[in-house]
Amino acid sequence: MPWKAEIMPLEEYKAKRDFRRTREPEGQAGGVEEEIFVVQEHHASHLHYDFRLSLDGVLKSWAVPKGVPEEKDTRRLAVQTEDHPLEYASFEGTIPKGEYGAGEVRIWDKGRFQLKERSADKLVFVLEGERLRGAYALVRFRGQEKQAKNWLIMKL
Ligand code: MN
């Protein structure tokens, strides 16, 4: 089962944050899972877009420096980051200076998705957002080890 939930979900997420200082949700793994995606525009040290899909009771997450493509056949680098709690899909606000990911977070797009295909190295899904609509794929870079973080996201 390549997509089996981790034994300690959200451990990395929690280790990186001080919840006395940031308003980001502390969250729990599990709970009611809807098939939702979110793209958060994140004005951290470098502007990037965080793409998140609800899977396995958490938000699987990728940082997309140039943003999720709206045009077909455009490939963008997507660097997998730590799983986030489901509640993070509603988070907008300012992460305080000095904290992990300090800067503004705004929801750029959000909606439902339909999962079409899933393996350790590939996800295919249909996004039903305001801006992002249609079939997308996330594919791990070829020739890398299983845990490698670099993926490509593309509109099909
Ligand atoms: Mn980010």
Give me ligand 1 centre to Cα 46, in Å.
9
Angle at 121 between CA 75 and CA 146, to 5 degrees: 120
pLDDT in tens, 12-71: 999 999 999 999 999 876 666 689 999 999 999 999 999 999 999 999 999 999 999 999
Q: How far apart are CA 70 and CA 115, in angstroms?
A: 19
> Would you say 131 and 109 are in contact if contact means Cβ atoms under 8 Å apart?
yes
The pLDDT score that the predictor gives to residue 148 is 82
Pairwise pLDDT comparison (108 vs 33), residue with the higher score:
108
> Would you say 22 and 95 are in contact if contact means Cβ atoms under 8 Å apart?
yes
Give me ligand 1 centre to Cα 109, in Å.
14
* In the chain, domain spans: 11-112
The set of residues, in sequence order, having a beta carbon less than 8 Å from that of 136 and lying 6+ positions away, is: 68, 124, 125, 126, 127, 153, 154, 155, 156
98: pLDDT strictly greater than 60: yes
Q: Which residues keep their CB under 5 angstroms from ion ligand 1? A: 42, 50
Give me ligand 1 centre to Cα 92, in Å.
12
